[in-house]
Amino acid sequence: MASSSSYNSPCAACKFLRRKCLPGCIFAPYFPPEEPQKFANVHKIFGASNVTKLLNELLPHQREDAVNSLAYEAEARVRDPVYGCVGAISFLQRQVQRLQKELDAANADLIRYACNEIPTALPAPPVTSSIQHMAPRQRPGDQFNSRIGNEGGFYQPSGSMPLHYNFPWNDNPTGGINEGGGEGNM
């Protein structure tokens, strides 16, 4: 009996429009009675007659995608009447750009650390502090210590040569090191 009551219940569109849902109703396959808000949003933004015209012009296999797009845009317009989907897309694009900058910074750090591990022709400056005889704290699985050969540290060049990096997210064309530029003069 439960199936016969759901079979006889009108679709969400006909229920919203307060009309009898006929067997050939164009809305019935796409607006089930369990989702009344879906049609309410679509009707509020696009209008029932416009949606009917659109669905009648489309091929049957294209209608479901069209209804899903209309429902998504209508819900976005209800939430943000000015921008709708464009606001959500812009937000996501800004988030992707921010995450790309973070990824670029992490890659730059990896490159910088990798370059510090490569032995160079320059000798390491002599350490004259009283801490030089203390062994660094060893961590399990620390692979940097075994590759470098200097008991856990990494080679740092002396402060006489500043290193300038050109990061893609740096918009400063002047390139001064204090201004955060990427192309300074050496």
Tell me what pLDDT residue 126 has: 59
Q: Is 98 helix (H, G, I), strand (E, B) or coil?
A: helix
Of 164, 143, 162, residue with least CA distance to 154: 143
Tens digit of each residue's pLDDT (9 = 90 or more) over 96-117: 999 999 999 999 999 999 888 7
Going 72 to 76 to 78 to 84, the CA torsion angle's sign is negative
User: Is residue 162 predicted with pLDDT exceeding 90?
Assistant: no
CB 17 within 8 A of CB 48: yes
Determine which of 30-34, 117-121, 147-151 has the lowest per-residue pLDDT on average. 147-151
Residue 182 one-letter amino acid: G
Tens digit of each residue's pLDDT (9 = 90 or more) over 50-95: 999 999 999 999 999 999 999 999 999 999 999 999 998 999 999 9
Q: How far apart are the first and last CA of the chain?
A: 85
Tens digit of each residue's pLDDT (9 = 90 or more) over 130-145: 544 444 454 444 444 4
Tell me what pLDDT residue 164 has: 46
